Amino acid sequence: MGEKLQFTELDQYLFGQGTHYDIYRKLGAHPTIQRRKKGVYFAVWAPNARSVSVVGEFNNWNTQANPMKKVGPIGVYETFIPGAKVGDLYKFYIIGYHGEELYKADPYGNEAELRPGTASRIADISDYKWKDTTWMKRRPEFDEIRDPMAIYEVHPGSWKKHEAKDEDDPGFYNYRELAHELAAYVKKMGYTHVELMGIAEHPFDGSWGYQVTGYYAPTSRYGSVQDFKYMIDYLHRNKIGVILDWVPAHFPKDAHGLANFDGTAVYEHEDPRQGEHPDWGTKIYNYGRPEVKNFLIANALYWIEECHVDGLRVDAVASMLYLDYGKKDGEWVANKYGDNKNLEAIEFFKHLNTVVLGRNHGTVMIAEESTAWPQVTGKAEDGGLGFSLKWNMGWMNDFLEYMKLDPYFRKDNHNKMTFSMTYAYSEKYVLVISHDEVVHLKCSMVNKMPGYPEEKIRNLKAAYAFMLFHPGKKLLFMGQEFGQLREWSEERELDWYLLNEKPHQDLQEFVKTLLHMYTKYPALYAGDNDPDGFEWINADDAYRSIFSLVRKSPTKRNNLLFIVNFTPVDRPDYRVGVPKKKQYKLIMNEHGLLEKPEVFKAEAQECDHREFSFDYPLPGYGVAVFTY
């Protein structure tokens, strides 16, 4: 509840410039008191509407009861409705430009009716009492270049489920239940962050949340906006960062959504060659329109500033940067220079990242960008896009191609595992094995691996160890840590029952050991973007499919030597070259941590083009980690 709300001349000016960064405090539905009456202030942008009114539970959905008044030339409509209250459902009833009748959900609504309902729900976003002060005070000190990031990618609706009460009950966990279960699991495993899919409201479960209709509303599938804030709060109190998937690339055509909002193209381009994705059947935002840019940038700030989220993973960046993305000749329009770069989207990213990161030190903006676009993580003032980090799709594709091969053929594809180091410092990377890799008949991670079940698990342990020692932040999709056998489906929970079987327990324990090792040793993260932090011992042992490398700590203490064998062949006579004549302490092998580390002394014997070396009997699919 607050002071009398109205859409002022200053609001109109800033919104028209695209710089009204807390516009969500004005547009939408806000409980307040006016002339001593409790009620709700409503405001909506519908520049080409003939008229707009609010319909809802408070007026029996009567289209005549609460007409809105147009304020200023920009096309914002406002009204105050006494007696409307938190929890009531509502929509905007719009007579469109061509006289059509439209019933639209609130683009700035903070809560929505549970699907299949499509109305917005009045919420009060100001009445949550945060308890994560310690986290928020320390957040500005977080530095994604220098600090560890091990991200657990989670789809909340299918991580865990309750027994369904009836066929209409999807068995979802509430945000509050999820907070407690997820925090306990993530802490135990050693992840530093969770990345949540499908949080913004969306009509269709099968879109996984990538076709958004309520950008300012955490989905009601798992509870209210207060429940959502509780989850973030609780994760923070358990020292876990929260990243959300965010989808500014496109939106669906659902009748209650943003498409054709007032009978004209408001949020999208009018020309279908600019305003539609033929492959996805969705609309493309008009990034050149200030009010549209404002809608999206303020939305990013809403999640980070109002909901305390620590970062956004921006989906489908490539589809925004290229005008011809997924399009044939004649289906797109070139820019003023005659090429395929979306100049307005480039400016949008620079503006977005500069504002979000400039106002919120210690947060991250992560690009899911699948091409070789230069300087995605370069500074905006130097011609970059200004992202903090970029998903390393090149590494992921090569890595998975290699791991799928029968070990016999890996020797001919050795460069797939080493090539990524030729461009490892061109951007600031996250190594990802995301939900996209375990759907659409691509197989689960464990079933991508060659061999019998036991061999698949050994392969996967070696693969995860290699991923951990390769420079870059880490992301694993839920279920991959214990060897989920089936592909992921949003319709069912993960196959947790597999943890009754020893191979899956062993894999989970191995991943846990790797993650705790990752956060313990600065050598594994502090030098991710420093060429001095990584060194191959032998990158060319293709015939035996063995890789050896060193990760160096910025303090020079607790450097790590790593060896991995990607064939089932034991190498009892294996010898490894080392950087210095020191003692090398074996702390972990393919079975996990050693209770008592074993010491190996380097001798003056040339190996791997180095003066010093030592013998280590390397088993098939062996993993060895030494500190020195």
Q: What DSSP assignment string belongs to 295-339? A: HHHHHHHIIIIIS---EEEETTHHHHHBTTTT--TTSS---TTSS
Among the listed residues 195, 233, 315, 590, the single catalytic one is 315
pLDDT above 90: percentage of residues in the chain: 96
Domain regions of the chain by residue span: 9-121, 531-627
CATH architecture of 9-121: Sandwich (2.60)
The structure tokens listed for 275 are 């305003």
pLDDT in tens, 592-602: 999 999 999 99
* 365 three-state secondary structure: strand
The pLDDT score that the predictor gives to residue 3 is 59
The structure tokens listed for 281 are 């059947």
The Cα 597–Cα 576 span in angstroms is 18
The pLDDT score that the predictor gives to residue 165 is 82
Question: What's the mean pLDDT in 500-514?
Answer: 98
- Residue 556 banded pLDDT, cuts 50, 70, 90: confident
The structure tokens listed for 437 are 């890799």
Q: Is 315 an annotated catalytic residue? A: yes
CATH superfamily ID and name for 531-627: Golgi alpha-mannosidase II (2.60.40.1180)
Q: Is 528 an annotated catalytic residue? A: no
| 583, pLDDT greater than 80 | yes
- Residue 164 banded pLDDT, cuts 50, 70, 90: confident
Question: What's the mean pLDDT in 550-573?
Answer: 96
Average pLDDT, the chain: 96
* Range name among 19-23, 170-174, 188-192 with the lowest pLDDT average: 170-174
Provide the CA 487 distance to its chain's centre, in angstroms. Answer: 20
The pLDDT score that the predictor gives to residue 308 is 98
The pLDDT score that the predictor gives to residue 4 is 78
Stated pTM of the model: 0.96
The pLDDT score that the predictor gives to residue 116 is 94
Please check whether the two domains, 9-121 and 531-627, share a CATH topology: yes
Among the listed residues 144, 268, 291, 368, the single catalytic one is 368
| 1, pLDDT greater than 80 | no
